[in-house]
Amino acid sequence: NVSIELLDAAGTSVVSTIVASTANTGTYTWNIPQSQPAGNFRVRVTSLSGGGLSDISDAPFAIEGI
């Protein structure tokens, strides 16, 4: 299983945990909560087994209000 976290644009601070544990299938559907403020973010995926390997998205992406 993996955890998925939303990070600030620099990739240094956790903004929120998207999911604490989910199967490592290569995909995850995230329904962005309306309470999520707009801004630029990155995502970190961390393995919950095998030494806690993780990876952060290469570039920030934008979440915009509707």
Span 4-54, pLDDT tens digits: 999 999 999 999 999 999 999 999 999 998 889 999 999 999 999 978 799
Q: In this predicted structure, what is the pLDDT of residue 2?
A: 96
Q: In this predicted structure, what is the pLDDT of residue 51?
A: 82
Q: In this predicted structure, what is the pLDDT of residue 14?
A: 97
Is the predicted pLDDT of residue 66 greater than 70, yes or no?
no
- Judged on CB neighbours under 10 Å (0-12, 13-18, 19+), 8 is middle
Are the CB atoms for 48 and 35 separated by under 8 Å? no
